[in-house]
Chains A and B, each alone.
Chain A
Amino acid sequence: MASELNLSRDHLEAPFSRRVEELSGENPYACYQCGKCSAGCPFADHMDALPNQVLRLVQLGDEAALRLSAPWVCASCLACAVRCPKGVDIAKTMEALRLLSLRRGITPAPVVPDRPYPQIALVGAYRKLTP
C-alpha cells in the first residue's frame, strides 16, 4: 500500500534536519535520491537502511534516522562522497547522526576490546563510537 507523502515546508524546517545540516555542513536537500552512494557503499549489505534512505529520513526531518544501525556501520571510507553527482558528502551526514546520538547519550554497543588490538584500531573505534 502506497503511503501518502505530505510535501510542505514544515518538513524542510524540521529542527532535526536543520541540526544535522548544521553539524555536517552538508545540505540534505541537494540530494535527488539517485542512489549512487548506496550502489558504491562497501558496507551497504550490512546496513538496515541504505545511505540514500538515511539521507531521505534526514530530508523528511524524521528522527528515526537516529535509531538506525546504518550510521554505526558506516566506516567513513568516503566512497559515497567522491561519487555523489550533487557533491553531497553523505559521510558527513552519517557522522552528524552518530554525534547527535552520542551527545544525547545514545550509543551503539560499548567498545569493549575482546582481544589485544593495535592502537590504530582502538583510537578509531573510541573516536567514532563513544561519546
Chain B
Amino acid sequence: MKKLAYFPGCAMKDQARPDEAGTLHALAALGYEVAEIPRWNCCGTVHSLAKDDLMRHVGPVRNLIRVQGMGEKRVLTLCAMCYGTLKRSAQFVREEERLARINAFLDTEEDFRGGIEVVHLLTLLRDEVGYEKLASRVKRTLNGLKVATYYGCVLLRPREFAVDDPDRPEVMERVVEALGGAPVPFPERMECCGAYLTVGRSDIVTDRVGRILRSARGSGADLVVTTCPLCQFNLAERRPPVAPTLPVLYLGQVLGWAFGADEPANLFPLGGAR
C-alpha cells in the first residue's frame, strides 16, 4: 500500500460525498492508503488574481503545513477548486520572500518549509497509476457508455497549473476510456459554467448550463462527468426548463462504480450500461 495525504475540502464532506466514497474505494483497490490531513480548513475556492493577495494564501498554506506535519511530500485533491487554490499557493511560496511573509503572519504555526506537491486525482491516475493499469483493474466496464467529459475552467486554467494541455486536454477522456466508456469530447467541455455567479446571477448560470448540456447532448452523450462540485451543483440545479435531461455525475462516482463500489441509486445510467 502506498500512503497518500488527502485534502478533502468542504464539498467532499457534504454535497460531494458520493464523489469521495467512489474515489476512495477505487484508490484502495489501486493500492493507495489514503490519509486525510488533520485539522484542514477551507481552501478558499477561488484564488485572488490581484498582486496583493497574501491573505488569500493563508488558508491554503495552513493546509500545506498540515501535510508537512504528516511527514508527507504531496497531497491529493479531488475537487477542481481545491486543486486550483492549493496548487497556486504551493507555487506562490516557492519565492523566499513570500514564504517569509506568510510564515511571519502565521506566527502560531510551525514554519512552512515549502516543497509540497499538490496533485489532482486525474494527474495521479495518468502519471502514477497509468491508463493501462487502471484499465486492467476495472471490475465493471462502462461498456461503451457515451460519457461527456466536462473540464470547466479550473482544471485547465491558468496554463501553468493545468492538469493537461489547456487547448487540447485528453486526460479525462483517457480515464473514461480506461473504464470502458466512450468519451465524448464535446465543444463546451472547457467552457465555464458560471461558477459562484450562481448565488446572485442564476440567470447567467442557467444560460451557460443550457449551452453546456445542449452541447453534450448534441455530441451524443448519455452522461456528463465532472470533478468540480460547483460545476456539478450548477449543472444539476441551474438547468433551463428545456435543457436535455442528461445525468451529471462526479468522476469519482463513475470510478468507484467501475471498481465495484456499492451502487447508489443515482447511478442509473451506469447500471444500464452493464
B215 shortest CB reach to chain A, Å = 11
CA A76 – CA B45 in complex, angstroms? 12
> Is A77 positioned at the interface, with any CB of B under 8 Å from its CB?
yes
Q: A76-B49, A78-B158 are in contact. Are A118 and B14 (CB under 8 A)?
A: yes
Q: A125-B199, A125-B200 are in contact. Are A95 and B50 (CB under 8 A)?
A: yes
Q: What 1/0 mask marks residues of chain B from 30 to 66 whose CB sits below 8 Å from any chain A CB?
A: 0000000000001011101111100010000000000
> Is B11 positioned at the interface, with any CB of A under 8 Å from its CB?
yes
Report A-chain residues with C-beta under 8 Å of the C-beta of B15: 118
Report A-chain residues with C-beta under 8 Å of the C-beta of B211: 42
- The listed residue (A45, A92, A113) touching B199 by CB distance below 8 A is A113
Are the CB atoms of A75 and B200 closer together than 8 Å?
A: no
Are the CB atoms of B197 and A75 closer together than 8 Å?
A: yes
Report B-chain residues with C-beta under 8 Å of the C-beta of A77: 152-153, 157, 191-192, 195
- The listed residue (A76, A81, A96, A120) touching B229 by CB distance below 8 A is A120
Q: A24-B50, A79-B192, A92-B50 are in contact. Are A118 and B229 (CB under 8 A)?
A: yes
B181 shortest CB reach to chain A, Å = 26
Q: What 1/0 mask marks residues of chain B from 182 to 207 whose CB sits below 8 Å from any chain A CB?
A: 00000000111011111111011001
> Is B230 positioned at the interface, with any CB of A under 8 Å from its CB?
yes
> Is B166 positioned at the interface, with any CB of A under 8 Å from its CB?
yes
Main DSSP-derived SS at the B contact region? loop
A75 and chain B: residue at smallest CB distance: B195
Report A-chain residues with C-beta under 8 Å of the C-beta of B166: 82
- The listed residue (A23, A111, A121, A129) touching B50 by CB distance below 8 A is A23
Are the CB atoms of A123 and B42 closer together than 8 Å?
A: yes
Are the CB atoms of A125 and B51 closer together than 8 Å?
A: no
Are the CB atoms of B10 and A120 closer together than 8 Å?
A: yes
CA A22 – CA B50 in complex, angstroms? 9
Main DSSP-derived SS at the A contact region? helix
- The listed residue (B49, B191, B197, B233) touching A120 by CB distance below 8 A is B233
Are the CB atoms of A118 and B11 closer together than 8 Å?
A: yes
Are the CB atoms of A121 and B196 closer together than 8 Å?
A: yes
Report A-chain residues with C-beta under 8 Å of the C-beta of B176: none
Are the CB atoms of B153 and A109 closer together than 8 Å?
A: no
Are the CB atoms of A46 and B51 closer together than 8 Å?
A: no
Report B-chain residues with C-beta under 8 Å of the C-beta of A120: 9-11, 45, 79, 81, 196, 229-230, 233
- The listed residue (A22, A45, A121) touching B207 by CB distance below 8 A is A45
- The listed residue (A75, A119, A122, A123) touching B192 by CB distance below 8 A is A75
Are the CB atoms of A24 and B49 closer together than 8 Å?
A: yes
B13 and chain A: residue at smallest CB distance: A119
- The listed residue (B9, B152, B200, B203) touching A111 by CB distance below 8 A is B200
Are the CB atoms of A108 and B192 closer together than 8 Å?
A: no
Sorted nearest first, the 8 A-B pairs with minimum C-beta distance are A124-B196, A77-B192, A95-B49, A78-B157, A77-B153, A119-B10, A125-B199, A123-B45
Q: Which positions in B face A, CB cutoff 8 Å?
A: 9-11, 14-15, 42, 44-46, 48-52, 56, 79, 81, 152-153, 156-159, 166-167, 190-192, 194-201, 203-204, 207-208, 211, 229-230, 233
